[in-house]
Structure 1
Amino acid sequence: MMMNLFSTFDPSSIMNLSLNWMSTLISLIMIPSLYWLIPNRLNLLLNKIFYTLHNEFKILTKKNNTLIFIALFFFILINNFMGLFPYIFTSTSHMVFTLSLALPLWISFMIYGWLINTYHMFAHLMPQGTPPILMPFMVCIETISNIIRPGTLAIRLSANMIAGHLLMTLLGNTGPMVDFLIMMVIMIQILLITLETAVAMIQSYVFAILSTLYSSEV
């Protein structure tokens, strides 16, 4: 029995086996065999998305090492889509998952920046043209903004995934209704699923593009 709305996101186990986080890898099992036949439409579509993302990320990083961010985009996108299927654990709605992605990236950027580009990192704390009286405050503000970056990345992804699922849960537990209201709820649910599909793609792109921007600063 559901005690509260957020209990729909609680991990559940079957036969004392914790298989919740296996949903992050279940897509590898569901890859159609046609994907491995080259060329095919699915492979051409993924290659098109890959090169489009590569061209966008390359402009931000000014380098060609965009593979990690493209892989991050596809990994989050697949997990967001898997969360839209019924009875599948939504891993991207948990801070354990999102923070595990954001924190190592941020730590690696900070270590590389402060060890290799120390002067640039100090200069980044002071935006160009800052009045002398505001310099101490700007250093504090920039330091705090750098520290909270992994938290904002993680919270943004998990909060957006939770919001749509909560709306669908609320509409799905409205109880007995007349036929007219049932049809209205079904139409709203279809619109919400369409919106959630768009959110799944947008949030994976936002996570990857922000990670690319953070890496370009170091």
Structure 2
Amino acid sequence: MMNNLFSIFDPSTNIFNIPFNWISTFIGIMFIPYSFWFIPNRHFLLWNFISNKLHIEFKTLLGPNNSIGSTLIFISLFFFIFFNNFLGLFPYIFTSSSHLTISLSLSLTLWLSFMMFGWINNTQHMFIHMIPQGTPFILMPFMVLIETISNIIRPGTLAVRLTANMIAGHLLITLLSNTGINMPNYMLIFLILIQILLLILESAVSIIQAYVISILSTLYSSETN
């Protein structure tokens, strides 16, 4: 039972036990609109609208000291996580964002980049950020310890947040679908309605989680400037 339940998260396939399922990570590339059309279509206009809104949001969070084009990193991160989360709701498409291999690689790479940039270019600011203003002298060592620990666990919390939300939704849908075999016909209608509501909820979660991860990464980046 448990093997069948968690088989939806298995990246390996039956073809020579090669993990072909990771190829689904790049399916989102097909949804990127071609910018060389003479007449922009609705897909291209929608893409530009979402990108401009995200650019304004991230630029506000990064503050006036942000570098030119720095918002493109977080816009790309949003679209990458969103496509992997959303496409994983379709049948027979592997959800790569439900694995710590992907989510931890993204969060750890971004966090290390922010830390290296901050400690190399803004060393004094990074030391000041570890002690909030107005902290008593006696509590300063404890505040430094607390801020250091909270800073170190940031990539882990980002990765676990994304992975746990994706796994929880997929497992709930799978468990409910497995119970439909033993249900009478009149109860299947309620089960289908519940499954539709769960799919709508998971679609919203896929967007929200991509937005939350991007916003938190932007906030972590703004602290190093």
The match for 2:114 among 109, 115, 118 is 109
Q: Report how many residues are paired.
A: 218
What is the CA–CA distance in structure 1 between the aligned matches of 2:134 and 2:38, rounded to whole Å? 56
The unaligned stretches of length 5 or more in structure 1 are none
**Secondary structure of the equivalent of 1:25?**
helix
**Secondary structure of the equivalent of 2:139?**
helix
Q: CA deviation at 1:28?
A: 2.5
What is the CA–CA distance in structure 1 between the aligned matches of 2:134 and 2:174, rounded to whole Å? 50
Determine what percentage of the aligned residue pairs are the same residue.
64
Q: CA deviation at 1:32?
A: 7.5
What is the CA–CA distance in structure 2 between the aligned matches of 1:31 and 1:132, rounded to whole Å? 54
* 1:19-38 superposed matches below 5 A: 19-29=20-30, 36=37, 38=39
Instruction: Say whether 1:11 aligns with 2:16.
Output: no
What is the CA–CA distance in structure 2 between the aligned matches of 1:91 and 1:77, rounded to whole Å? 11
Q: CA deviation at 1:136?
A: 1.1
Q: TM-score, normalised by structure 2?
A: 0.91
Match of 2:220 in 1: 214
**One-letter amino acid matched to 2:92:** Y
Moved more, 74-83 or 36-45: 36-45
Instruction: Say whether 1:120 aligns with 2:120.
Output: no
What is the CA–CA distance in structure 2 between the aligned matches of 1:10 and 1:206, rounded to whole Å? 26
**Secondary structure of the equivalent of 1:185?**
helix
Moved more, 132-141 or 142-151: 132-141
Cα-Cα RMSD: 1.9
Q: CA deviation at 1:7?
A: 3.2
The match for 2:77 among 65, 72, 84 is 72
The unaligned stretches of length 5 or more in structure 2 are none
Q: TM-score, normalised by structure 1?
A: 0.94
Match of 1:96 in 2: 101
